[in-house]
Amino acid sequence: MKKFLRLLRKEFKRIFSNNVLLAIFIGAPIFYGILFGYVYKQAKVLDLPLVIIDLDHSPTSDKIIDAFEDNEVLLVTDVRYIPGNILKEMPTEQYTAVITLPANFEADLLQKRHPEIRVDLNMANILNANTASKNIQSVLITLNAGIEIEGLKKQGLHPNQATTSFEPFKINFNKLYNSTGNYLTFMLPGLLATIMQQIIFLGMALVFARDFEDGYFEELIKNSKSSLYHIALKSTPFLLMIPMMWAIVSLFIVYFKIDADIFNFPMLVLTALLTLGSMFIGMLFSIAIPSQLKATELLMVISTPAFVLSGFTWPTLTFPDAITNTAQYIPLTQFLSGFRKIAFYGGDVSSIKPEINILLLITLVAFVAMAVLLQYKIYRRVKKKKRVMNTITH
């Protein structure tokens, strides 16, 4: 035990002497947590710029312009009375939409000619375009309803009858789980989990690869020839430090007032399994590829697309089967699936059983693979050393 503690102290010294590892492991979660938190702090898209071309100059067109100006999501940056070549301006001015009210709009409306309002959407940014489209439709549908009801009232119908005639049934949307549509609540937890998986991958990718490169591995196997001993030795510092990083990361959820239930036992189980699965995958690459640079590069190939492949922001049903099946065995995919069930749906351990089972499988397979591979490398090193000694002796 004394020997293990002595080596453990040395492990901590080696970790804290590696500035790159410390920058990745400690700096990245804090820096990116603050960065992404403030990027999405506004929580929803506001003040999307649009231009209205009013070719009618009527009280009705003025009423439509006022309605758009009252919408908090849309920002009427300009009202023009001649068409011009506004589409040429769109790439530089970044207008989200251009709304054209045609000439004789009010007259055609009064004579039931069904005039058409043209909306040109800038689809370069899908999120902005969809948000703008939804709010533009909401404004125009409300105005359309108001105009129809006013028309019926002029025909002599009682206001209540006019409303009922136009609206035979009501629609009531009840929004559940992030009812405000808060984009920060939607994005930040997924991004934080992605960062944690990535820093665990990269941190663990260096542990054995560094030993192989600087020759420290030869000293280690003098103390023990058991792969399990060395895995325990390398894992212990990170098993002490990673929970502290998770604690720091979880505070961003509190600080940014994200309505998610994360401080519970099911989340602890899920977080522990993501940590172990990511650690063992990182260590496996570190053992299999005895180069710090190559090990981290290959792990980046896995970690970089992990967030997209997880299905957190884009449904996996749209993926080709081969990609979907591969993504299931990236720890982050299972974590984010389980996270949503617990944090937003109020699920318990039984509700995340499928995710737990796959995470356990990933963890077990990675652990067995790295233990066997490390034992083989130890055996090869010992055998090579004996051969060298025998050559020297003879």
pLDDT at 169: 46
Q: With the CA atoms of 182, 185, 187 and 193 taken in that order, what torsion angle do they form, in degrees rounded to the nearest 10?
A: 180
pLDDT at 163: 56
Is 252 exposed, middle or buried (CB count within 10 Å of its CB: 0-12, 13-18, 19+)? buried
Whole-prediction pTM:
0.80
User: Residues near 219 by Cβ (< 8 Å), separated by ≥ 6?
Assistant: none
pLDDT tens track, the chain, 394 positions: 778 888 888 888 888 887 777 777 778 888 888 888 887 777 677 889 999 999 998 988 899 899 999 998 899 999 998 877 777 777 778 888 899 999 998 888 888 788 888 898 888 777 788 888 889 988 888 887 776 656 655 666 666 655 555 555 455 666 667 767 778 888 889 899 999 999 899 888 888 888 888 888 888 888 888 999 999 999 999 999 999 999 999 999 999 888 888 999 999 999 999 999 999 999 999 999 888 888 888 888 888 888 888 888 877 777 888 888 888 999 999 999 999 899 988 889 999 999 999 999 999 999 999 999 999 998 888 887 777 666 666 5
Going from the N-terminus, what domains does the chain have, and what CATH number goes with each?
Answer: 2-40+191-393 (no CATH), 48-166 (3.40.1710.10)
Q: Which of 311, 309, 358, 333 is nearest to 193 (CA)?
A: 333
